[in-house]
Structure 1
Amino acid sequence: MAQFPDTPAFTGFNTPSRIEADIADLDMTGAVPRELDGAFYRVQPDPQHPPRLGDDISFNGDGMITMFRFHDGQVDFKQRWAQTDKWKLEHDAGHALFGAYRNPLTDDERVQGKIRGTANTNAFIYGGKLYALKEDSPALVMDPATLETEGYTWFNGAMTGQTFTAHPKVDPDTGDMIAFGYAAKGVLTKDMTYYVVSPDGELKQELWFELPYYAMMHDFAITPDYALFHVVPSTSNWERLEAGLPHFGFDTTLPVYLGVLPRRTDATAEDIRWFKRDNCFASHVMNAFQEGSMIHFDTPEAKNNMFPFFPDIHGAPFNGPESASFLTRWTVDMASNSDAFERTERLTNTMGEFPRIDERRTGLPYRYGWMLVIDPTKPVEMKGGSAGGLVMNTLGLIDHQTGAEQKWWCGPVSSLQEPCFIPRSADAPEGDGWIVQVCNRLEEHRSDLLLFDALEIEKGPIAEIRLPIRLRFGLHGNWATAAEIGLAA
């Protein structure tokens, strides 16, 4: 009999959902533009079974993929498990076999050596395939129309690394998918792989190199000439795992690096330049671009660790005020003979994370960026519980050209999940389109899908698509046109 723990990670709005469903023509207020023809995919960690060790963090839940199909002015809902090797083994056993987050020492001996990935971090469409991604394992392939799981891919056997990022990028010029894997030779290793994949699934390039130290390499950036890797000291070691401590801990004594890898087919590990700066926390990347010999890298930066569930490695208490992140531009000069950053510049005083852009500007100079904003001036009523820790209660838009910002607040008893940009058409101007995102209705224990005019978010949603169920806090998601996923009429 399933008995989930009576802890914050498993109660209130965070109660496991475990719902696979199909719902046609969701109820809505407002109107969905009839020209919207495609699907928005997102993923939530959603544990299939109670945790093996009695409690767990949300990052360790099994991947549940949601598909919102837009067509003819209506929205249909489909949700399925990402059936990873872990999911299948535990489904057959009827209970959890894998233990703590990224700690194979806590697993049942029957699954030692098996792939531990949960496919719970990103739902990414590329080359007509749906990739359900978690950065500690290979990419899981699913059918984008049916959400049936096909299995892990090593790109026709060419990929030799053990891991694949949850944040690949698509080069808008070449159409290639650019990716990487960390801990690529196994748990805690400093080894990294850089990948280039074609739309037909051919692995065109795999380059191996090492990080300055083992770290959570969650996101990265590209420009036309470079791949950029920011190394931030959420780190670990075998002593932590043997002691049963959380896998990652933040080390305030280590420097932060930005690795710059030339995107040439003949590049080697020796071609990487490592720029160094003082300690800080940064995870996701809004974008990066080149300006002459200068490379600009835009990331939400905090003075200290943002993850209380990955505590300070030296035992310091979590520092809430220092966990506030602000979009910051890191600039390095490839013409410099120094390993120091040229400068860092805070781009806004708005606190936020989960940055997104019009992905057609990936790696290029860009004007618009959207974020989840934490607005401490707005009232918060925690009726129904938090959906994911920090109360991200506002959608924000920054215009990098003018400095103007827009915000939309979701109210005192709601919170928001990551926004995603939908272009009006393939050749529409930058920012011309819509923003889609899930809204957590905390007190009602259910969810809405919100649709905004992307450049007029302060006017509020043009459509609220109402779900009769609750979606747990999700991480990342993406839009694909009907043609891209084989659903065009």
Structure 2
Amino acid sequence: MKTFPQLPIYTGFNRPNRMELDISDLEIEGQLPDIEGAFYRVGPDPHYPPLLGNDIYFNGDGMISMFRFEKGRVSLKTRYARTQKFLAEEKAGHPLFGAYRNPYTDDPSVEGISRSTANTNIFFHEGRLYAMKEDSLPTEMDPFTLETIGDTSFGGKVTSEAFTAHPKYDYATGEMIGFGYHAKGIGSDDVAYYVIDRHGQVVHETWFKVPYANLMHDFGVTEDYVVWPIVPVCTSLERAREGKPVFGWDSSKDVYLAVLPRRGEGKDLRLFRAPNQFCSHVMNAFNDGTKIHFDTPVARSNAFPFFPDITGAPFDREGGSARMTRWTLDLSSKDGSWEARTLSNMMGEFPKIDERYACHSYRHGYMCVMDPSLPLDPTTGRSISGLLINAWGHIDMATGVSKQWFCGPKTTLQEPVFVPRNANAPEGDGYLMGLMNVYETMSSALVILDAQHVDEGPIATIHIPTHLRSGLHGNWVPADQLTKGKASVV
């Protein structure tokens, strides 16, 4: 096999790990909380060098990690998601798939083979574990062994070509809410919406179109409604065919919030409109009657430098600085606008909540913070994505107070998850858990903070004897959920 190119994206802490690990006991520093379950996370870890010599960080094979908490011990298991792409390249012994989300750059021999890398999120629903990439169907994994079971269309009921990497789970109903954009292929303006019940069965499907084809990465679900932000990270088949980035920022377009009742039909979709601005990941959404509150980090302009401006304009780092914002719209209004209120001055992205309160009114929110005022050692690895995460933050929605923990000048952080202290704990009573990148030793550590006192720093640090490449998203699954039987879905 050829070597990876000596570029920042493939060297230093960003070098592909390419190892599947089994470590039965990890070294624990501090006091491990009395919690049992599994922390799953996933990220891009290329199995082969890029076909075209370079790519963006997010185009790598999905490497799933499972940290299993059991009887005061923590074990680690990692496995590649053996997608159709992975297996085709492994059989050939060299890369076959080209640029991120661009099938026009692939080797002709793989036409018709799913391009999924299953590298964006790992999601558990009623006994089943799904590795997800939003341009494809989910890849089911065994929740205990992490062996790949295969792609799933939920018994053939998901007819969209793609399925979101950010489904929502409503603890009150046991439903998984999902959708697929580019539902009829790359660049299409078709969206398919799905409700999947607690038995893994698709019980609702409807289709609609959006004002322009774009990157619909995340969305919000309330008790009664579903809300999609339509933001102009736009798709261009012309650019794709020319070998240019498929997605680009278009500052000339307005943004929309598309609202649908949870069991609504496409004809019921309503669009709310606002001037150009940026949002991506959603902290939570909830409604009070006809009023919908939608919480997301918002920036004046593009916050993701890896998706270039379609005019060639340079990235505006100040304009791309996102802050947690509440968009509030009223379905009883006639003007189709919404109000905006900043919830915290912390700059950041990748928000998380106590997932037991997803789709409902909540108090506690958490996020990855990018604070340029904090010191950074010059030897510390730089962020390939442009999102240098050096703190985790907590926002108390009731008091408006924000707190943050700075990880230090020689480390950076990945996205955390919230872990309840126990099944009956009040909202926010628990722990914040996630990976820290330790550049001095080129290793990783799993750090655990008291979620109500994040500013006090880790109560436990779990050391990993190697580095785990920066991942994207993950979730915590308590032990009692892991033991649930699987639904009979293919």
Does the 8 Å CA contact 1:140/1:151 hold for their aligned counterparts? yes
Specify the code of the residue in structure 2 equivalent to 1:328.
T
Matching of residue 449 in structure 1 with residue 446 in structure 2: yes
Compute the displacement of 1:487 (Å).
9.1
Structure 2 residue 17 is matched with structure 1 residue 21: no
Aligned to 1:372: 368
Q: Which residue of 2 aligns with 1:263?
A: 262
1:358 corresponds to which residue?
354
In structure 1, what is the Cα distance between the partners aligned to 2:133 and 2:360? 26
487 and 145 in structure 1: CA distance in 2 versus 1, 3 angstrom threshold: farther
**Matched AA of 2:208:** F
Question: Does the Cα contact within 8 Å between 1:408 and 1:460 map onto a contact in 2?
Answer: yes
Q: What is the alpha-carbon distance in structure 1 between the residues aligned to residue 481 and residue 145 of structure 2?
A: 14
Amino acid at match of 1:300: P
For 1:54 and 1:291, the matched residues in 2 are separated by 51
Following superposition, the deviation at residue 486 of structure 1 comes to 2.6
Q: Distance in 2 between matches of 1:127 and 1:22?
A: 25
1:360-403, CA deviations, whole angstroms, 9 ceiling, x for partnerless residues? 11111111000111112210124252254321100100101001
Check whether the contact 1:57–1:101 (CA below 8 A) recurs between aligned residues.
yes
1:406 to partner: Cα distance: 1.2
The CA distance in 2 between the partners of 1:128 and 1:238, in whole Å, is 38
Contact persistence 1:435–1:451 (CA under 8 A): yes
**Residue 290 of structure 2 is aligned to residue 287 of structure 1:** no
* Cα distance between partner residues in 2 of 1:393 and 1:156: 43
Instruction: Compute the displacement of 1:32 (Å).
Output: 1.0
Structure 2: state its 5+ residue gaps.
Answer: 486-490
Distance 2:161 2:189 in 1: 13
The answer to whether the Cα contact below 8 Å between 2:286 and 2:294 also exists between their aligned partners in 1 is: yes
Q: Secondary structure at the match of 1:270?
A: helix
- Whether the 8 Å contact between 1:14 and 1:387 is mirrored in structure 2 is no
1:149 matched residue in structure 2: 148
Which is further off, 302-311 or 130-139? 302-311
**Partners in 1 of 2:249 and 2:380 — Cα distance?**
30
The question of whether the paired residues in 2 share the 8 Å contact of 1:145 and 1:486 is answered with: no
Amino acid at match of 2:135: D
Q: Which residue of 2 aligns with 1:4?
A: 4
More displaced, 157-166 or 374-383?
A: 374-383
CA RMSD of aligned residues (A): 1.2
> Following superposition of structure 1 onto structure 2, how do residues 370-409 of structure 1 map, counting pairs within 5 Å?
370-388=366-384, 389-409=386-406
2:482 counterpart SS class: coil
Shift of 1:161: 0.5
How big is the shift at 1:37? 0.9
How do 1:137-216 residues align onto structure 2 when only pairs under 5 Å count? Answer: 137-216=136-215
Answer whether contact 1:387 1:442 (CA < 8 A) is retained: no
Gaps of 5+ in 1: none
Task: Give the equivalent residue in structure 1 for 2:32.
Answer: 32
- 1:172 CA displacement: 2.0
Aligned to 1:128: 127
Counterpart pick for 1:410 among 390, 407, 411 = 407
TM-aligned CA deviation for residue 427 of structure 1: 2.2
Question: Is contact 1:3-1:50 (8 Å) kept?
Answer: yes
Structure 1 position 475 matched with structure 2 position 472 = yes
Give the Cα separation in 2 of the matches to 1:335 and 1:162. 34
Give, in whole Å, the separation in 1 of the partners of 2:424 and 2:215: 36
Match of 2:82 in 1: 83
Q: Is the 8 A contact 2:120 2:133 kept in 1?
A: yes
3-state SS in 2 of match to 1:229: strand
Q: Which residue of 1 aligns with 2:229?
A: 230
Give % identity: 52
Q: 1:12·1:384 contact (CA, 8 Å) conserved in 2?
A: no
Paired residue secondary structure (2:245): coil
Deviation at 1:424, TM superposition (A): 1.6
Q: Is the 8 A contact 2:137 2:151 kept in 1?
A: yes
Preserved CA contact (<8 Å) 1:13 1:387 = no
Equivalents in 2 of 1:443, 1:245: separation in Å? 37
Q: Residues of 2 paired with 1:31 and 1:111: CA distance?
A: 50
**Correspondence for 2:435:** 438
CA drift of 1:249 comes to 0.4
Following TM superposition, by how much is the alpha carbon of 1:64 offset from its aligned partner in structure 2, in angstroms? Answer: 0.1
Runs of 4+ in structure 1 off by over 6 angstroms are none
Q: Which amino acid aligns with 1:345?
A: R
**Deviations along 1:411-464, whole A, 9 cap, x unmatched?**
001110111001122221000111110001123211000011111111111100
- Identify the residue that residue 422 of structure 1 maps to in structure 2: 419
Secondary structure at 1:87's aligned position in 2? Answer: helix
- CA distances 1:291-326 after superposition (whole Å, capped 9, x unpaired): 232111010001111222210011111111111000
Give the conservation status (yes or no) of the 8 Å contact 1:145–1:487.
no
How many residue pairs get matched?
A: 484
Partner Cα separation in structure 2 for residue 440 and residue 386 of structure 1 = 11
Distance (whole Å) between structure 1 residues aligned to residue 446 and residue 164 of structure 2: 27
Taking a change above 3 Å as real, the CA distance of residues 386 and 487 of structure 1, as seen in their structure-2 partners, is farther
For residue 344 of structure 2, the aligned residue among 341, 345, 348 is: 348
